[in-house]
Structure formats: C-alpha cells, structure tokens
Amino acid sequence: MALDASQNLEDAELLARFAQGDRAAAQVLTARLAPVVYAQAFRMLGDRAEAEDITQDSLLRLWHAAPDWQAGQAKVTTWLYRVTSNLCIDKMRKSNRQSSDAVPEMPDDGPDMERRLQDSARAQALRAALSDLPDRQKQAMVLRHLEGLSNPDVAQIMQISVEAVESLMSRGKRSLADALAPQKKALGLEDDG
C-alpha cells in the first residue's frame, strides 16, 4: 500500500496492516503517535533523553502487541497512553529523582524575552510542583490537563473509575495550588481583585 493511501486509515487498521507486514502502515502510525507519546513522557519526566527512550520503548511494545491486537477492545492511543504512563512511573520510581533538576534552557535576547522568561519560569515551577505529587495524581493531572484527555479516557488509561480520576484531580489541584501559592507574585499570577 502506498504511504499516502494509508494516511487516512484509523490507528487500529494501520496496526493490523503492520502486523501483516505493511511497513508503510508502520511509518504512518509511528509518525502519528511518536510525537504524542514523546509529549506525554516529557511532561511526566521533564527530561528529553528519558522521554525519547520511553517513546521508543512504548512504540516497540505496540509493535510487539500488533499480531495479537484485538480491534474494538481498546483504542490504540488509549493503550499507548497507559503503557507510556506505566513506563514513566517505573522510570520515576527507579531513578527516584525529581524532574525539576533538569538544566533550564538558556534564554536569548530576542523579542518578548521577558514574556518567554516568565513562561519558562511558570513551566519550571509547574514541573517542580508536579514532580512532588504522588505518582497517580501526577499521571492523572498530566493526562487530563496537559494531554487534554477526557476524564473517561483518563479512567480507562489508568484502569480506575471516573470518580477516582475526579478525586485524584481534586487532590492534585489542591496540592499544586498549595505548592505554587508562595510563588504567585514572582510568577506574575497574582489576582487583580
């Protein structure tokens, strides 16, 4: 099958075609899913190299699962989010370090430098606060708010109820608010009223 023709196929169909030996389907699926997996891993780990490793490992697991894939049981992306989350949690537990230790990027003197510095400081503060959350809260917060998934999707990925997701989210939001409260003024997040 031509690469262009497979662009419009669903993930499950591409995975099935890969299982049958279609390399073009694998290329399309990799191009489609790798950036999503990398973004999730980076948000959870805060380290580019580790996120790249997790992306490779997640996609390898998908390729190994392809021959036994049961279409209709789970969406490919849901399965992949779950695998990626679990790999990230395993990595965090093994390394037992915080992602806030990463070296920040050096700013340049281009336009809007002050705005970019403030955005960078906010992102770094959020990563630091996220890294202090318990693993399950962090996973729920990343999937829901940074990856933009719905509560039912997060529940399916984490294999818990929607109510449990909502509880994790509520506790996570309170913890983040408490952690970021002392920095509100420095981060330019003070309320006007």
* Interval 22-55: pLDDT, tens: 888 889 999 999 999 999 999 888 889 999 999 9
Residue 189 confidence (pLDDT): 66
Percent of the chain past pLDDT 90, that is, above it, reads 29
Instruction: Report the CATH number that the domain containing residue 159 is assigned in CATH.
Output: 1.10.10.10
Looking at the fold, whether 90 and 124 belong to one and the same domain comes out as no
Predicted pLDDT at 165: 92
What pLDDT does 181 receive? 84
Same domain, 41 and 128: no
Q: What's the pTM value of the predicted model, to 2 decimals?
A: 0.62
The 3-state DSSP class for residue 31 equals: helix
Do 108 and 176 reside in the same domain of the chain?
yes
Identify the DSSP state of 102: S
Q: Report residue 84's pLDDT band, with 50, 70 and 90 as the boundaries.
A: very high
Judge whether residue 170 has pLDDT over 70: yes
d(Cα 85, Cα 140) in Å, to the nearest integer? 10
Average pLDDT for residues 95-116, to the nearest whole number? 54
In this model, does residue 109 exceed pLDDT 90?
no
- Please state the separation of Cα 117 from the chain's center in Å: 23
Tell me: pLDDT of 100 over 80. no
Same-domain check for residues 140 and 179: yes
Q: Mark which of 45, 78, 97 sits at the end of a domain.
A: 97
80 pLDDT tier (thresholds 50, 70, 90): very high
**Structurally, how many domains does the chain consist of?**
2
Contact 142, 40 (CB under 8 A): yes
Q: Residue 47 is encoded by which pair of tokens?
A: 């380290």
Q: Which of the listed residues 77, 97, 117 is the one where a domain comes to its end?
A: 97
Per-residue pLDDT tens digits for 113-169: 566 666 667 777 777 888 888 988 888 988 888 888 899 989 998 899 999 999 999
- Indicate if the pLDDT at residue 108 is higher than 60: no
Range of the domain at 174: 102-193
Note whether 130 and 50 are same-domain residues.
no
Q: In terms of Cα–Cα distance, which of 23, 89, 26 is closest to 54?
A: 89
**101 vs 125, more confident:** 125
Q: Give CA 172 to chain center in angstroms.
A: 16
CA 23/CA 33 separation, integer angstroms = 15
